[in-house]
């Protein structure tokens, strides 16, 4: 603090001693012409946590004036947004943070603040997206998200309101549900939002951390008051956690309930891979819905899949265990999948679907050539399903067997063109380059989305995008023939 004036130095000293009034008096002495004036105003905002909404509002306006004059210190920006928030001006706080976006680092704290403000103004999707973004940036730093009453409107909407599918996918996502499992019910110090709800009999026993701006009950409070406070505080946390839990459960049910609709739409447009993924996603959780999906999807071209697994779903419990394990909502463990594959009975091992998964496990644990052999067998049996074609094509690209790759590409089924990576692989084969200038698409974990986590697109790639060399239109008969593929 060598270059700091004495008022700032004294103010910080009083903060460390917990003397808010004295600290405030020192910071107020810093003149507007002083280089530390903006920092002094920001500290005054922090000390305003225990003040009424009117003073919070005045402090926010003072911060806005400084920022509009060109002072864009991060601490000042954050404290100004908080004062707007605590003054009941959440919409202004949200708009202000968006306006200041270019000056922010967009770390977990920035996303957390935006989520708070979005929740307060009823921007449900934006609030959920900001929470998820914060979890991606720094998972552990989001540990207050299920103990912060700023999110009560969001969680209540998820539990009881008209939640849309985009918000539901966030609530049901693995990262969000893991955060709930770890953080829900965690007792935390609280800020000015919870202070508004606090019964009056506790207020005179509050202790404020002037450095962080959080409150706690004083250890000098009578034991009966401390016990009553903890009971009240825990009930608030329990209520918030209950809303979040119900929101997550409801989101899961919404997504699960939409899978047949998504699968039907995919089958109607000829995207059998997506239709199969939605089916498996559902059967992994509710195998009793097999007949319902079979009746709806088999007439749309998916009969090959349901006929293949029908007996195994009835007779082989380990095959049902396999279906539950390989659902694309989580990353498979190849060794564990191989063990479950080996445990399947004769009905399970007789399915083409088992062969497809056996090829996937072989690629991870044995060799690409072994995996290739499994995929070619699947192609012969399932000429209309694109998955084995794609995996075999990747093998021939990686081993630079371009003529064979071209033969395979010329015979892919129409469903292949729904893959986001279809054009990339076609270009690689055409140019005989295993490394394309265009990287493979980034895929997100699949937990029920219509695009299967980015793997497919709703509209197939126009076939004119491919080289004429690989664009002959194969018939069903030609795709059913025994391929002369090494």
pLDDT in tens, 7-48: 777 776 766 666 666 777 777 788 877 777 777 776 666 665
Instruction: Name the nearest CA neighbour of 323 among 333, 314, 313.
Output: 313
pLDDT at site 328:
43
pLDDT at 145: 93
| Long-range contacts (CB closer than 8 Å, 24 or more residues apart) made by 92-96 | 92/60, 93/117, 94/118, 94/120, 94/121, 94/123, 96/64
Instruction: Give the pair of three-digit tokens for residue 48.
Output: 């305003």
Q: Are 400 and 428 in contact (CB under 8 A)?
A: no
| pLDDT score of 350 | 96
Tokens 């419990």 correspond to what residue? Answer: 317
**pLDDT value of residue 480:** 41
Query: What is the maximum alpha-carbon separation in the chain?
Result: 89
Please give the Cα distance from 202 to 49 (Å, whole number).
17
What is residue 289's DSSP assignment? Answer: G
Burial (CB count within 10 angstroms: exposed 0-12, middle 13-18, buried 19+), residue 400: exposed
At how many degrees (to 10) do helices 20-28 and 6-17 cross? 170
CA Rg, the chain, in Å?
A: 30
Query: What distance lies between CA 9 and its chain's CA centroid?
Result: 44
Q: How far is CA 292 from CA 11, 88, 260, 306, 417, in A?
A: 70, 50, 9, 11, 28
| Full pLDDT tens readout for the chain, 486 residues | 445 677 777 776 766 666 666 777 777 788 877 777 777 776 666 665 555 677 778 888 988 998 998 888 888 898 899 889 888 899 999 999 999 999 999 999 999 999 999 999 999 999 999 999 999 999 988 988 998 889 999 999 999 999 999 999 999 988 999 999 999 877 665 655 666 677 778 877 877 666 555 667 788 889 998 889 888 888 888 999 999 999 999 999 999 999 999 999 999 999 999 999 999 999 999 999 999 999 999 999 999 999 999 999 999 999 999 998 875 434 457 888 899 999 999 999 999 999 999 998 888 887 889 999 999 999 999 999 999 999 999 999 988 999 999 999 989 999 999 998 888 888 888 888 766 545 566 666 677 888 888 888 877 665 555 545 554 444 444 444 444 443
Q: State the burial class of residue 201 (Cβ atoms within 10 Å of its Cβ: 0-12, 13-18, 19+).
A: exposed
Residue given tokens 């003529």 in the structure block: 403
Residue 468 has what pLDDT? 53
pLDDT tens for each residue of 249-281: 999 999 999 999 999 999 999 999 999 999 999
Domains of the chain: 6-250 (1.25.40.10), 327-480 (1.25.40)
**Can you point out the beta strands (E) in 139-199?**
none
Separation of alpha carbons 484 and 37, rounded Å: 80
Question: Residue with structure tokens 């009930």?
Answer: 235
């Amino acid at each position: 603090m060598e270059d700091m004036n004495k008022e700032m130095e004294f103010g910080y000293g009083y903060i460390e001693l917990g003397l808010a009034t004295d600290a405030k008096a020192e910071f107020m002495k810093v003149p507007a012409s002083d280089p530390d004036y903006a920092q002094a105003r920001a500290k005054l905002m922090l000390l305003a946590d225990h003040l009424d909404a009117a003073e919070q509002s005045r402090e926010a306006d003072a911060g806005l004036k400084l920022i509009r004059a060109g002072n864009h210190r991060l601490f000042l920006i954050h404290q100004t947004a908080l004062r707007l928030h605590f003054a009941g001006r959440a919409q202004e706080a949200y708009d202000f943070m968006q306006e200041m976006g270019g000056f922010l680092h967009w770390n977990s704290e920035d996303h957390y603040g935006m989520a708070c403000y979005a929740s307060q103004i009823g921007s449900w999707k934006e609030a959920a997206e900001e929470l998820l973004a914060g979890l991606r940036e720094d998972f552990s730093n989001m540990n207050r998200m299920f103990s912060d009453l700023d999110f009560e409107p969001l969680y209540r909407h998820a539990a009881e309101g008209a939640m849309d599918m985009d918000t539901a996918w966030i609530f049901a996502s693995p990262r969000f549900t893991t955060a709930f499992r770890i953080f829900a019910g965690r007792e935390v110090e609280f800020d000015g939002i919870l202070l508004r709800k606090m019964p009056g009999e506790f207020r005179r026993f509050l202790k404020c951390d002037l450095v962080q701006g959080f409150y706690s009950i004083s250890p000098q409070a009578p034991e009966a008051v401390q016990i009553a406070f903890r009971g009240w505080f825990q009930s608030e946390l329990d209520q918030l956690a209950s809303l979040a839990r119900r929101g997550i459960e409801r989101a899961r049910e919404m997504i699960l309930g939409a899978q047949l609709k998504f699968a039907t739409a995919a089958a109607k447009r000829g995207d059998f891979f997506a239709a199969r993924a939605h089916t498996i996603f559902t059967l992994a959780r509710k195998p009793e819905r097999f007949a319902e999906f079979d009746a709806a999807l088999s007439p749309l071209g998916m009969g090959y899949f349901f006929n293949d697994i029908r007996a195994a779903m009835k007779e082989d419990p380990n095959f049902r265990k396999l279906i539950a394990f390989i659902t694309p909502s989580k990353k498979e463990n190849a060794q564990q999948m191989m063990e479950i594959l080996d445990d399947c009975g004769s009905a399970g091992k007789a399915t083409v679907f088992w062969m497809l998964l056996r090829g996937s496990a072989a690629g991870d644990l044995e060799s690409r050539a072994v995996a290739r052999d499994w995929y070619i067998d699947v192609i012969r049996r399932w000429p209309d399903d694109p998955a084995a074609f794609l995996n075999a094509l990747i093998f021939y690209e990686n081993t630079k067997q371009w003529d064979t790759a071209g033969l395979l590409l010329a015979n892919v089924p129409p469903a292949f063109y729904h893959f986001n990576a279809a054009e990339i692989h076609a270009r690689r084969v055409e140019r005989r380059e295993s490394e394309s200038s265009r990287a493979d698409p980034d895929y997100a974990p699949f937990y029920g989305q219509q695009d299967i986590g980015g793997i497919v697109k709703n509209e197939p790639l126009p076939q004119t995008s491919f080289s004429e060399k690989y664009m002959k239109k194969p018939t069903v008969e030609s795709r059913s023939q025994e391929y002369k593929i090494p």
